[in-house]
A and B are shown apart, each in its own frame.
Chain A
Amino acid sequence: MSAVVELWGVKKRFRRGQNVIVVLDDLAAAVQAGEVVIVRGRSGSGKTTLLNILAGWQDPDAGTVKWGVDRPESWDRVAVVPQSLGLLSELTLGENIGLPGRLADAEGDVSGVAEKLEISHLLDRPVGGASLGEQQRAAIGRALIRRPSLLLADEPSSHQDLDRLHLVWRLIDEVAAGGTGVIAATHDPDAFRYADRVLDLHDGRLVPAS
């Protein structure tokens, strides 16, 4: 197995008024192809900052991030499910799922992904015409449409009922079996069984969950 992403000595600080908040402190981690890693952490513990750095959207103040792929600029390398979902309200759910393909002038199997996420019947609907759970599954479909090397997911099942939570995580598991490395932030214990490792983000470092 090869690492899809490795971090060494990653530090990130923010200034808040007079105070300096250390969010990530000498953090080290590696995720292998095909591995599902779940990160837990309290609100404000730095999970989103960590995911932003892993996505290449933010630079650490110190340390190194090395992707097993080129810079993670395209969705076939690194794909993200943001907690805010970030669907475009001007587009239908189907068009949102197909967005990474359209940006890259590449084809994507929108209907195949939608079927797995049980939203095939909603592809022509505007975003506002779908429930939050359905929108979240569309955001997951958008992230998977180009079969990324690394999937970063911020609370990907937070709007799902229990059946759909397992549907989402079974799909993440299936994608990992195909070679994608997965890092997901979640608090949901029902999701933990799908993880190869569960880590806690505590005092700016990743440690095995207790």
Chain B
Amino acid sequence: MGTEPTMFCEGIRRAYRTDQEMVWALWDVDAVAEAGQMTVLAGPSGSGKSTLLRVIAGIDRPDAGRVEVAGRELTSMSAADRRRFRSRHMGYLFQDPAANLLSYLTVWEHLVMAGRIRRAAPTRDLLTHLEIEDLADEHPARLSAGQQQRAALAAAMVGEPDLILADEPTAELDTQSAHLAVAALTRLRDLGATLIVTSHDQEVLNAADRLLRLEHGTVKG
């Protein structure tokens, strides 16, 4: 008997409204993320992959459809409950590496804070796994974009949340840093994390256990 997927969503529709029109960013999207796998949402710019990630994270509420994460239905929760659930059960990485970190906290303090929020004790091993153990006492301003991204991934992993979501994690990195970021993502997957990552970077796509291609807001395979 198979286990329940960590995340599934069905019939997701999400519209953006302008003064003149309503544009469907997502239309009847179904998706599944199995535990311990890296699922990559692929597709060109404007395909709806980042919108889908925000809906899965509970940042945005869909206009139709349902999202379930770790057995909890997100779409019926209030915004405050979704935020609380997200902070305890999910790690979320924005595309801009600096946006994931607070300027006044060291790398290690980010892990301590994530631990307080998820009621878990961080370990230095996480920094070692992501090859940033020497940077534990540094503030974000001293880190490269790639190091910032790996520090944010380490904080996202504290307490082993049910789901780690990353929006275009290599988009703002040079080739070498992007390579290290992909290695960090697969390392977290090997440590047992369930990841959902949006990307159009071939190296990220190659590392996927499951690939979901989006085009004009619908799943193409």
Contact = CB atoms under 8 A, between A and B. Distances in A.
Nearest to B141: A57
Contacts of A99: 113
Contact of B142 (A57, A89, A126, A128): A57
A90 interface: yes
A91 B117 contact: yes
Interface residues of B, number: 19
Given A91-B117, A103-B113, A126-B83, A82 B103 contact: yes
Given A59-B142, A91-B117, A126-B80, A103 B112 contact: yes
Q: How many A residues are at the interface, by size bracket?
A: 20 to 34
Interface in B183-215: none
A89 B140 CA distance: 19
The prevalent SS among residues of B at the interface is helix
Most buried by B among A80, A82, A90: A90
Contacts of B109: 103
Interface string B100-141: 001111100100110011000000000000000000010111
B137 A73 contact: yes
A56 B140 CA distance: 11
A89 B137 contact: no
A55 B105 CA distance: 11
6 contacts: A55-B104, A59-B142, A80-B104, A86-B102, A89-B83, A90-B117
